[in-house]
């Protein structure tokens, strides 16, 4: 199991919409993520910079970005594209973060 962290970028003024969409995450998307070994998925918002900080455990050697070939994920990306900074395929711009400290 690997724990990975990355940041994404919310467009200003979209905190409530982003939160609501995730509060109502589609059951088929939740099932897909779990099936692909993603668990303990946290997303935090730095409101000063509109930066989203994500942390997730992955059972397999892949990132959630590798799920891009899945139609459910593509539909979610399209759904979220209006409120986030995205790539040409509507996947969120995501920057991996390096772990520099861990305390058990």
- For residue 5, with 0-12 CB atoms within 10 Å meaning exposed, 13-18 middle and 19 or more buried, which class applies? middle
Q: Which of 22, 26, 46, 89 is catalytic?
A: 22
In this structure, are residues 25 and 73 in contact, taking their beta carbons and an 8 Å threshold? no
- 55-75 in b/e form (b: 16+ CB < 10 A) is ebebeeeebbeebeeeeebee
Q: Is 22 in the active site?
A: yes
Structure token digits, residue 55 = 């942390």
- Determine the length of the chain: 104
Q: Catalytic positions, please?
A: 22
């Amino acid at each position: 199991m690997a724990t990975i962290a990355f940041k994404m970028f919310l467009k200003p003024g979209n905190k409530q919409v982003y939160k609501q969409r995730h509060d109502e995450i589609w059951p088929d998307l939740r099932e897909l993520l779990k099936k692909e070994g993603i668990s303990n998925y946290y997303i935090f918002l730095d409101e000063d910079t509109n930066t989203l900080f994500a942390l997730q455990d992955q059972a397999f050697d892949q990132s959630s970005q590798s799920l891009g070939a899945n139609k459910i994920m593509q539909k979610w990306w399209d759904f979220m594209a209006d409120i986030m900074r995205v790539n040409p395929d509507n996947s969120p711009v995501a920057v991996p973060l390096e772990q520099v400290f861990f305390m058990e």
